[in-house]
């Protein structure tokens, strides 16, 4: 009995756990040296020219995740989507209560389509809505990865 139990324990430790998420780490870094990543379990969602996505930031060993909103994904490329004339941000099926709160906070900007005029995304950081320009190799690659996931 001890041999069977020991064998079962060894097999369970050596059997890989099923992969539930695929994280895409961006090789290039941001201007402040941060690393960015996107989790494809929470695939970006597009509607009315707006793309909503979840991404992460790693800096000095600490991680945080944010919700990004961009009008700069069109046909799988970084390009201003011309159908952003209306403000109708999608609420992804994967969005939790906190995500929805951030999306609604971003939606409060009265002229959201003109809030961001260069490739990048909009994020709610602690109640302050900010436009993040994709002006570093890391942020540009992240936006390209997000746009590339969308059909």
For residue 86, the model assigns a pLDDT of 67
* Average pLDDT over the chain, rounded to an integer: 85
For residue 77, the model assigns a pLDDT of 95
pLDDT, tens digit, for every residue of 46-99? 998 999 999 999 999 999 999 999 999 999 999 999 888 667 799 999 999 999
Dihedral (Cα; 26, 132, 44, 23), 10-degree rounding:
20
Candidate from 1-15, 21-35, 48-62, 64-78 with smallest mean pLDDT: 1-15
Predicted confidence (pLDDT) at residue 43 exceeds the cutoff of 60: yes
Average pLDDT of the residues in 111-131:
93
Predicted confidence (pLDDT) at residue 105 exceeds the cutoff of 80: yes
């Amino acid at each position: 009995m001890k041999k069977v139990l020991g064998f079962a324990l060894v097999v369970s430790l050596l059997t890989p756990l099923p992969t539930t998420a695929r994280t895409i780490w961006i090789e290039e870094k941001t201007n402040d040296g941060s690393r960015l990543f996107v989790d494809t379990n929470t695939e970006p969602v597009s509607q009315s020219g707006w793309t909503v996505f979840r991404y992460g930031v790693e800096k000095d060993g600490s991680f945080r995740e944010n919700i990004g909103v961009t009008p700069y994904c069109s046909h799988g490329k970084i390009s201003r989507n011309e159908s952003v004339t209306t403000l109708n941000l999608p609420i992804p099926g994967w969005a939790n209560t906190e995500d929805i709160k951030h999306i609604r906070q971003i939606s409060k900007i009265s002229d959201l389509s003109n809030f961001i005029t260069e490739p990048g995304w909009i994020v709610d950081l602690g109640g302050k809505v900010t436009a993040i320009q994709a002006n570093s190799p890391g942020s540009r690659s992240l936006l390209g990865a997000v746009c590339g996931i969308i059909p």
